[in-house]
Amino acid sequence: MKKPDPARDAKPALPAAFDWDLRLYVAGATPKSVAAFRNLEIICEEHLAGRYHIEVIDLMKSPQLAQGDQILAVPTLVRKLPVPIRKIIGTLSDTERVLIGLDLRPHGLDPFAARKDKKHAS
């Protein structure tokens, strides 16, 4: 009997799932909905480049979908992954608020990080 050859028998790797699964609930192409989507795209590209998926759900076309995530206002962003689920309502124009709401931190802006070159205050 022939021994299995891992190199020959290996299955192709599946594409990696996105680390961040986001849903943006809107009600048509209103100025607030468009602004929320643009702001979300900018934040994702800057802080999650290549690791996110955005699904836009237009409640004017599919109002029944609001029930699943308990959407009461639009635009609303729902972070499905990573868990726990988080929600942010509004146009997402306050970047710092969105980063905190998504549990992201801006790179290099940790005010509590200890500096290696500084001594403790006495």
Does the pTM exceed 0.85? no
Q: Is 120 contained in some domain?
A: no
User: Tokens in use for 102?
Assistant: 């998504």
Decide: 71 and 24 in contact? Cβ < 8 Å.
no
Domain that holds residue 73: 20-101
Residue pLDDT, tens place only, 42-90: 999 999 998 999 999 999 999 999 999 999 999 999 999 999 999 999 9
Q: Is 87 contained in some domain?
A: yes
Count of domains in the chain? 1
The strand pairing partners of 26, in sequence order, are: 58
Q: Is 113 contained in some domain?
A: no
Residue pLDDT, tens place only, 3-46: 554 444 444 433 456 799 999 999 999 999 999 999 999 999 99
Q: Is 25 contained in some domain?
A: yes
Identify the CATH number of the domain in which residue 74 sits.
Answer: 3.40.30.10
Q: Is 109 contained in some domain?
A: no
Beta carbons within 8 Å of 41's beta carbon, 6+ residues apart:
54
The conformation of residue 98, written as its DSSP 8-state character, comes to H
User: Tokens in use for 22?
Assistant: 């986001």
